[in-house]
C-alpha cells in the first residue's frame, strides 16, 4: 500500500484529502505543521509528499529543499492559494513534480497524485531491474572456484573499467557471451545497452544491414529506415559472436567502424558517429585463419587488445557440483519440482564424461533429467544415453596431427576405469581393487595420485 504524507496548516484541507486518498486505497499521514512533517519523514518512508507552500515556522519551499537533500527519490507535489508563475517555476526547479493551485478539483488532485505514485513505482522497478541485471551478470556470479575460472574473474574485474576491445576465445558452450555481459554490467557503460549479434548465423548482406543499418529503398524489402546494431548499442557494448565467420567485405567495414568510430548505413552516404565498446568472441583459431587468408590481420590486431580464453568444462571439472546445484535450482523452480540432489552414481558419470558441449551441454542434461525424473533424486535412468557410453570409446581415434601424449591418455583411461569399477561395487574399495585386478594398496595409491573422490569404504 502506497504511503502519502500531507502537510498543510488548514485542517479542512487535510481532512478532505485524507478521505479522498484513503478511498483510493492509499495510506495517509496528515500534519498541520512543517516541523512535525520533517520529523515524521526522518522516521518513516513515504511514496509521495503533498505540501502547502505558505505555512508558519517553516515554508513549503524550505520543506521541499530539505526533502530533496535527504530523500531525493520521493516525489513532491506543492499546493498554494496564491498562484504565481514565478513560484511554480521555482518549485519545479527545486525538484517538485507538480504544482496545484487552491481551490483545486478533487479529480485533478487524484490524477496528479496517481501519476506521482506511478513515477515513483517505475523508478523503483528500474533501480531493482538494473540491480538484478548487474547481479545476474556480475563476474562474482559466474559460477566457478577452479583456478582457471578464478583467473578469468580476476581479469574481468581488471578490464571492465577500460574501453579496450576484447576477444574472448573458447569452445562452444563455455560461456563467452556470459563473460561479455559480465564485463558490460560492471563497466561504466552499464547504464546503456548490451547488444549481441551472432555473425555466423546471418548471410553477408543481411549481416551488414544488421550491423550498420539501412535506408529505405536500399534493397528489396527495405521499406523503412533501420538502425543497425552499432547505433542501437550507442554508449554501450556491442558483442560480436563468432567473429571468425564474417566475410572479407564485412571485416573491412568492421575495421573501418572500429578505427574511425563512424558507420554508414546500407544505401546511405551519410556518416554516423558511434561510441561503442567492442567485445568479439570466437571458437576458432583466428591466427590460423589469418595464415589461410580467411581473416584480416589488421582487424585481428585491432580487436585483440585484450584477449582471454574461457576454459572447457573438462578443464574445470571441480566446478561441476556448483554448476549442477545452480541448474537444479533453476529448472526445479521453472518446472515446479523438488529435486534436491543427484545420486552418487550420476555424479560419477558426470565427472567421467568428456563434455564436448561444455556448460551448455551440462545445462541441457540437467534440464532433461529434471523433466524426466519422478523422484526427489536424479538417477542414472534420467540421463541421456550418450553419457552412459564408456568414455574411453569416445576418446579412441582422436589422434591429432600435432602429436599425442600416451601417458596422459593412459592416465585418463585409468581414472575412467577406476570410477566405473567404483560404481559397480558401490564404493567398496576392496571389491573395486579385485574387479580391476590390482592390489588394494595399488588402488589407494592411484586414487591419491589422480585426486579421485574417496568413497566410504565398506568392508567385505
- Same domain assignment for residues 176 and 96: no
- Same domain assignment for residues 319 and 307: no
- Same domain assignment for residues 39 and 64: yes
Structure-block grid coordinates of residue 271: 556518416
- Same domain assignment for residues 254 and 116: no
What's the gap between Cα 273 and its chain centre?
28
Look at residue 293 in the predicted model and tell me its pLDDT. 93
- Same domain assignment for residues 32 and 13: yes
- Same domain assignment for residues 251 and 283: yes
- Same domain assignment for residues 113 and 227: no
Instruction: Give me the domain span that covers residue 108.
Output: 3-130
Full-model pTM: 0.59
Beta carbons within 8 Å of 192's beta carbon, 6+ residues apart: 233, 234, 235, 236, 237
Which CATH number fits the domain that encloses residue 11?
Answer: 3.40.50.2300
What's the gap between Cα 295 and its chain centre?
30
Structural domain includes residue 460: no
Structural domain includes residue 456: no
Q: Of 278, 311, 344, which residue constitutes the final position of a domain?
A: 311
- Same domain assignment for residues 47 and 158: no
Number of domain units in the chain: 3
Q: Of 258, 283, 311, which residue constitutes the final position of a domain?
A: 311
- Same domain assignment for residues 348 and 397: yes
Look at residue 397 in the predicted model and tell me its pLDDT. 43
- Same domain assignment for residues 203 and 301: yes
User: Consecutive 10-residue runs of the chain (460 residues): their mean pLDDT?
Assistant: 92 94 93 93 91 91 92 90 77 89 89 91 76 57 86 93 95 93 92 93 89 87 87 95 94 95 91 96 94 95 95 92 92 91 90 90 96 92 80 48 67 80 78 87 85 50
Look at residue 234 in the predicted model and tell me its pLDDT. 94
Look at residue 135 in the predicted model and tell me its pLDDT. 56
- Same domain assignment for residues 101 and 144: no
Q: Of 262, 289, 311, which residue constitutes the final position of a domain?
A: 311
- Same domain assignment for residues 435 and 329: yes
Count, residues in the chain? 460
Look at residue 83 in the predicted model and tell me its pLDDT. 66
Amino acid at each position: 500500500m502506497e504511503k502519502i504524507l500531507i502537510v498543510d496548516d488548514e485542517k479542512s484541507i487535510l481532512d478532505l484529502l485524507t478521505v479522498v486518498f484513503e478511498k483510493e486505497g492509499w495510506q495517509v499521514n496528515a500534519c498541520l505543521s512543517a516541523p512535525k512533517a520533517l520529523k515524521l519523514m526522518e522516521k518513516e518512508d513515504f511514496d509521495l509528499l503533498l505540501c502547502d507552500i505558505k505555512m508558519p515556522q517553516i515554508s513549503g519551499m524550505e520543506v521541499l529543499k530539505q526533502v530533496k537533500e535527504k530523500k531525493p527519490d520521493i516525489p513532491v507535489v506543492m499546493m498554494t492559494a496564491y498562484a504565481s508563475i514565478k513560484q511554480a517555476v521555482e518549485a519545479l526547479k527545486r525538484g517538485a513534480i507538480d504544482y496545484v493551485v487552491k481551490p483545486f478539483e478533487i479529480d485533478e488532485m487524484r490524477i496528479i497524485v496517481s501519476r506521482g505514485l506511478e513515477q515513483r513505482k517505475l523508478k523503483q522497478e528500474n533501480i531493482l531491474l538494473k540491480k538484478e541485471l548487474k547481479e545476474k551478470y556480475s563476474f562474482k556470479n559466474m559460477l566457478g572456484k577452479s583456478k582457471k575460472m578464478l583467473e578469468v574473474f580476476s581479469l574481468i574485474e581488471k578490464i571492465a573499467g577500460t574501453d579496450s576491445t576484447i576477444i574472448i576465445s573458447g569452445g562452444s558452450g563455455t560461456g563467452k557471451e556470459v563473460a561479455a555481459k559480465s564485463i558490460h554490467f560492471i563497466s561504466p557503460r552499464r547504464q546503456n545497452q548490451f547488444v549481441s549479434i551472432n555473425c555466423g548465423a546471418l548471410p553477408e548482406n543481411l549481416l551488414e544491414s544488421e550491423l550498420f543499418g539501412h535506408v529505405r529503398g536500399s534493397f528489396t524489402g527495405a521499406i523503412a529506415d533501420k538502425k543497425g546494431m552499432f547505433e542501437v548499442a550507442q554508449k554501450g557494448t556491442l558483442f560480436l559472436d563468432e567473429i571468425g565467420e564474417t566475410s572479407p567485405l564485412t571485416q573491412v567495414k568492421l575495421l573501418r567502424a572500429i578505427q574511425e568510430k563512424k558507420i554508414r548505413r546500407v544505401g546511405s552516404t551519410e556518416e554516423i558517429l558511434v561510441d561503442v565498446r567492442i567485445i568479439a568472441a570466437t571458437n576458432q583459431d583466428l591466427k590460423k585463419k589469418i595464415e589461410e587468408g580467411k581473416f584480416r590481420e589488421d582487424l585481428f590486431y585491432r580487436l585483440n587488445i585484450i584477449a582471454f580464453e574461457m576454459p572447457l568444462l573438462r578443464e574445470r571439472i571441480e566446478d561441476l557440483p556448483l554448476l549442477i546445484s545452480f541448474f537444479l535450482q533453476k529448472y526445479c523452480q521453472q518446472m515446479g519440482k523438488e529435486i534436491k540432489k543427484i545420486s552418487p552414481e550420476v555424479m560419477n558419470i558426470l565427472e567421467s564424461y568428456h563434455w564436448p558441449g561444455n556448460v551448455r551441454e551440462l545445462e541441457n542434461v540437467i534440464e532433461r533429467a529434471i523433466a524426466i525424473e519422478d523422484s526427489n533424486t536424479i538417477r542414472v535412468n534420467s540421463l541421456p544415453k550418450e553419457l552412459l557410453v564408456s568414455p574411453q570409446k569416445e576418446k579412441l581415434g582422436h589422434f591429432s596431427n600435432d602429436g599425442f601424449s600416451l601417458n596422459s591418455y593412459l592416465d585418463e583411461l585409468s581414472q575412467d576405469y577406476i570410477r566405473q569399477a567404483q560404481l559397480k561395487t558401490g564404493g567398496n574399495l576392496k571389491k573395486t581393487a579385485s574387479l580391476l585386478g590390482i592390489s588394494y594398496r595399488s588402488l589407494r595409491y592411484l586414487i591419491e595420485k589422480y585426486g579421485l573422490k574417496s568413497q566410504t569404504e565398506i568392508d567385505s
